[in-house]
Amino acid sequence: MKKLTLKFGGTSLNTVDQIKKVANIVKKRHDEGNQIIVIVSAMAGATNDLMSKSKSISKNFDNKELDVLLSSGEQVSCSLLSGALIELGIKARSWLGWQIPIFTNKNYTSSQIIKINTDEISNFISKKGVAVIAGFQGVSEEFRITTLGRGGSDLSAVAVAKFFQTDSCEIYTDVEGVLTTDPSINEKAKKIEKISYEEMLEMASLGAKVMQPNAVQTSMIDNIPIHVRSTFSGKPGTKIISENEIDNKKVITGIAYSKGNAKVSIVGVVDKPGVAADVFEPIGKNNINIDMVIQNTSLDGKNANITFTIKQEDLNKTLSIIKKSKEKLNYNKITHDDKLAKVSIIGAGMISESGVTHKMFRSLADEKINILAISTSEIKISVLIKEELTQRAVKTLHKAFGLN
């Protein structure tokens, strides 16, 4: 007998008919003799609808009340799936985060799970019951409802797998597994059978939407194997596992992209210790995330140009902050560009393979795609390009690195 964590996303629970199909999947796994804990997301579109309602009340809707509102989507799907299982003759019960409880910190709207009480649910599943848990939510030490951020049901599933010490953690979605790139912009994307935690974390952080980055990071820290599967087909899916368990590593595993980026350049800053801190400190205090950073120093070593990227929606606020610091920074001018995309190649194989950078840049150059900024790590190379060139860049790189 195995103990399984099964997580179903919003696209798997989009309609009542789909919820009934999910119930049959759970029943099949239960009938095989497994102990089952199910984690559910809200039905597709439910969270966006609730968020829209909050904005119609106030542009600065209170975060604590927002968590109460947004967590209600999972309560609906949790109840419906439990009811569907009961209708199939399965002993089932739903649990909300505060009922278990799932304890989190009090960083409302993006909390982290600290501890999960396991006694009641462990007792229930040991007696052939199926526990259905509302994902994405928990409760703070103040006993107020919290949520885990966008895609937080993935984090719920990984945490459940950890605290209940389940034999596997299966993430069910509307695709057959983790793909080499987004199939909506490249029809030649294909399923990856095995991918390392590190590669999956890079892909998730760089725009791949299969799993929440925090969930991948948590599974990597605690060495929890993840199996991404399709709700709508019986195919094997993708296993996210430790790198040393993967044989025949490809040089490049996948291509990720994100749109809606902007680039800011501060020209002619006096090059002295602390200048970068002076630039980025006020931006950070305003909760604006910085991505790529490039600093070029003049030949005489007196001045520097600092270029960085942010999300497009933060551009005006960022420019305003920098202008307020003009006297302190003593720069010549600011330039900016928006409607940019970041395209990245990811692969653990590039650690030991030479010529990857040249191959990427030459492939883009042959397509007349200009690179505006570059950032690298051991297992990824990211470039900033014009947003309208995203699809062409992804298709070019996907072909160049043999992923078609």
* Beta carbons of 385 and 393 less than 8 angstroms apart: yes
Residue 319 has pLDDT above 80, yes or no: yes
Using CA atoms in the order 376, 381, 384, 390, what is the torsion angle rounded to 10 degrees? Answer: -160
Cβ(254)–Cβ(178) below 8 Å: yes
pLDDT at 171 over 80: yes
CB 155 within 8 A of CB 104: no
Res 283: pLDDT: 93
**Which residues is 40 bridged to in the sheet?**
8, 134
Residue whose token pair is 């990856």 = 192
Q: What span, in angstroms and rounded, lies between the C-alpha atoms of 358 and 25?
A: 47
**What pLDDT is recorded for position 248?**
62
Strand ranges of the sheet holding 3-8, from the earlier edge strand across to the other edge: 92-95, 130-134, 35-40, 3-8, 168-173, 226-230, 238-241, 194-196
And the tokens for 294?
Answer: 């490039």
Taking a C-beta distance cutoff of 8 angstroms, is the pair 203, 148 a contact?
no
Which region among 73-82, 244-253, 278-287, 328-337 has the lowest average model confidence (pLDDT)?
Answer: 244-253
State in words which class domain 3-174 has. Answer: alpha beta
Query: Residue 318 and residue 310: Cα distance in Å, rounded?
Result: 9
The span from the CA of 364 to the CA of 371, in Å, is: 8
Dig out the tokens for 2 from the structure.
Answer: 């195995």
Q: Where in the chain is the domain with CATH 3.40.1160.10?
A: 3-174
User: pLDDT value at position 340?
Assistant: 96
pLDDT at 63 (0 to 100): 95
The pLDDT tens digits for 342-381 are 999 999 888 888 899 999 999 999 999 999 999 898 899 9
Closest CA to 183 of 248, 257, 125, 112: 257
HEC string for 212-251? CHHHHHHHHHCCCCEEEEECCCCCCCEEEECHHHCCCCCC
Q: Look over the chain and give the mean of its residue pLDDT values, rounded to a whole number.
A: 93
Identify whether 236 is preceded by a cis peptide bond (ω within 30 of 0).
no
Among 105-114, 175-184, 358-367, which is the least confidently predicted range?
Answer: 175-184
β-bridge partners, 38: 6, 132
Q: Is 388 helix (H, G, I), strand (E, B) or coil?
A: helix
Please state the rounded mean pLDDT for residues 151-170: 95
Helix and strand totals (H; E) in the chain: 13, 18
Residues of the chain with CATH 3.30.2130.10: 255-400
CATH number for the domain running over 255-400: 3.30.2130.10
**Cα–Cα distance measured from residue 351 to residue 355, given in angstroms and rounded to the nearest whole number:** 11
Residue 132 near residue 25 (C-beta atoms within 8 A): no
**Does residue 179 have a pLDDT over 80?**
yes
Residues 226/203, Cβ–Cβ less than 8 Å: no
| 396-399, Cβ contacts within 8 angstroms, sequence gap of 24 or more | 396/363, 396/364, 396/366, 396/367, 396/369, 397/255, 397/343, 397/345, 397/360, 397/363, 397/364, 398/180, 398/181, 398/186, 398/188, 398/189, 398/255, 399/188
Between these two residues, 352 and 185, which has the higher pLDDT value?
Answer: 185
Residue 46 to residue 28: CA distance in whole angstroms:
28
Q: What percent of the chain has pLDDT over 70?
A: 99
CA separation for the pair 95, 78 (Å, rounded): 8
Per-range mean pLDDT, top range of 58-62, 78-82, 337-341: 78-82
Q: Is the pLDDT of residue 82 over 90?
A: yes
CA dihedral over 153, 3, 230, 208, signed as positive or negative = positive
Task: Using the Cα atoms of residue 309, residue 313, residue 315 and residue 320 in order, give the sign of their dihedral.
Answer: negative
Q: Which residues lie below 8 Å from residue 52, measured CB to CB, with a gap of 6+?
A: none
pLDDT digits (tens, 9 = 90+) for 277-315: 999 999 999 989 999 998 888 777 788 899 999 999 999
Contact between 175 and 16 under an 8 Å Cβ cutoff? The reply is no
Helix H segments across 111-251? Answer: 119-126, 152-163, 197-205, 213-221
6-15, pLDDT tens digit by residue?
Answer: 999 999 999 9
pLDDT number for residue 234:
79
For the record, the structure tokens of 58 come out as: 């106030």
Q: What is the mean pLDDT of residues 116-144?
A: 97
Whether the Cβ atoms of residue 35 and residue 1 lie closer than 8 Å to each other: yes
Per-residue pLDDT band at 233 (split at 50, 70, 90): confident
Percent of the chain with pLDDT strictly greater than 90: 77
Q: Which residues contact 338 (CB under 8 A, 6 or more apart)?
A: 261, 262, 263, 312, 315
